[in-house]
Amino acid sequence: MACLKNKEVNVAYIDVFNGDADGLCSLVQLRNANPVESRLVTGVKRDIDLLDRVTVSEGDQLTVLDVSLDKNRVGLVAALEAGAEVTYVDHHFAGDIPQHAKLTTHINTASDVCTSLLVNGMLKGQFAEWAVVGAFGDNLRNSALAVAKPLDLSAAELELLENLGIYLNYNGYGASIEDLHFDPEALYRSIAPFASPRAFMLEAKETFSQLEEGYKNDMRAASELPAAHSDKATAVFILPDERWARRVSGVYSNDLANDSPDRAHAVLTEKQDGNYLVSIRAPLNNKRGADEFCRQFATGGGRAAAAGINDLPMTSLTNFIDRFQSFYGNM
């Protein structure tokens, strides 16, 4: 798909965003505040090397939301060298941030922050309900409630926003777009016209219902599986190589964390080649170390409270469980 150009000044607008709730809710806030025709670049939640897909020209406006700068460093530098103006908003590990006149960053890796909340701050609360949805989706319940407090929402309305955040986040998980109920680009286009998530849920009931039904069915299947390992500090669950399992891995991790806030959790999903896709959640009462632990593995990364490993070799399973138990058992 060719970049869409503003006919008057010949500038392309390109929006790069994570396909989960936080990425979606970040962009819907920005584009409600500043509507432009843009090329969308996104994918499943784990597809984070998104800047590798982007080709820009001098003067193009590139917005990057909710993907690690460290994982996209090469693409970012290439875009800057090509003359693009880049706005980068994120809460994942960034590493050294390039110093460049055409790069504007809003990066905060605190464990109670997500990209939707950073965008909400940039926009001074203009579309705060979407920020609340994004924070709920990222399992930052206390942060979501804090932003929601001045909005005078009823308990029922707040529950709807929480559920929408969970369902949008759930939709982002999978090995490929084919695993998902909705392509994140299509899902974004369905929510983008709405300044309020409540209006979206009212007018797009079929989309909301499909997400809700899929989430409940997949979570029911996951809840029937026993733990592969469990102790006071950690628990490990292994899901089969099936579409429902790939979809539910991240939100199931969040659910486990909410149910046992003093324990760290790992949810491993079997892949076709026998290796594992891993979701890690630090204890909710001590949201530290998930990114540090996952970066010990070649395909690992994330943030302090929630991180993952894209390809854990099957031969490393026992070693992984031992290291996970030791890491959080000694914290």
Specify the pLDDT at position 9: 58
Which percentage of the chain shows pLDDT scores above 70? 97
SS3 of residue 64 by DSSP? strand
Looking at the structure, do residues 144 and 101 belong to the same domain, yes or no?
yes
Asked if residue 218 belongs to a domain, the reply is: no
Task: Indicate the number of domains in the chain.
Answer: 2
Looking at the structure, do residues 186 and 263 belong to the same domain, yes or no?
no
Take residue 85 and report the two structure tokens written for it: 């103006």
Take residue 184 and report the two structure tokens written for it: 């994140």
Torsion, Cα of 61, 66, 71, 73 (10° steps): 30
Residue with tokens 């970012």: 76
Average pLDDT, the chain: 94
Looking at the structure, do residues 149 and 199 belong to the same domain, yes or no?
yes
Read off the pLDDT of residues 108-130 as tens digits, 9 standing for 90 and up.
999 899 999 999 999 999 999 99
Looking at the structure, do residues 204 and 238 belong to the same domain, yes or no?
no
**What is the CATH number for 277?**
3.10.310.30
- Specify the length of the chain in residues: 331
DSSP string, 117-139: HHHHHHTTTTTHHHHHHHHHHTT
Looking at the structure, do residues 240 and 325 belong to the same domain, yes or no?
yes
Phi, psi of 230 (to 5 degrees): -155, 130
Phi, psi of 278 (to 5 degrees): -120, 130
Looking at the structure, do residues 30 and 97 belong to the same domain, yes or no?
yes
Looking at the structure, do residues 162 and 262 belong to the same domain, yes or no?
no
Residues 6+ away with beta carbon under 8 Å from 239:
222, 225, 245, 246, 248, 249, 252, 267, 268, 269, 270
Looking at the structure, do residues 239 and 134 belong to the same domain, yes or no?
no
Read off the pLDDT of residues 195-228 as tens digits, 9 standing for 90 and up.
999 999 999 999 999 999 999 999 999 999 999 9
- Of 154, 184, 213, the position where a domain reaches its end is 213
Looking at the structure, do residues 46 and 157 belong to the same domain, yes or no?
yes
Read off the pLDDT of residues 10-42 as tens digits, 9 standing for 90 and up.
789 999 999 999 999 999 999 999 999 999 999
Specify the pLDDT at position 175: 87
How many angstroms separate the CA atoms of 16 and 65, rounded? 6
How many angstroms separate the CA atoms of 13 and 115, rounded? 20
Which percentage of the chain shows pLDDT scores above 90? 92
Read off the pLDDT of residues 155-190 as tens digits, 9 standing for 90 and up.
999 999 999 999 999 999 998 999 999 999 999 999
Distances, alpha carbon 203 to alpha carbons 91, 124, 193, in Å: 31, 26, 11
Specify the pLDDT at position 331: 85
- Of 153, 187, 213, the position where a domain reaches its end is 213
Looking at the structure, do residues 89 and 192 belong to the same domain, yes or no?
yes
Looking at the structure, do residues 95 and 23 belong to the same domain, yes or no?
yes
Provide the domain limits for residue 133.
5-213
- Of 213, 248, 279, the position where a domain reaches its end is 213
Asked if residue 219 belongs to a domain, the reply is: no
- Do the Cβ atoms of 153 and 183 come closer than 8 Å? no
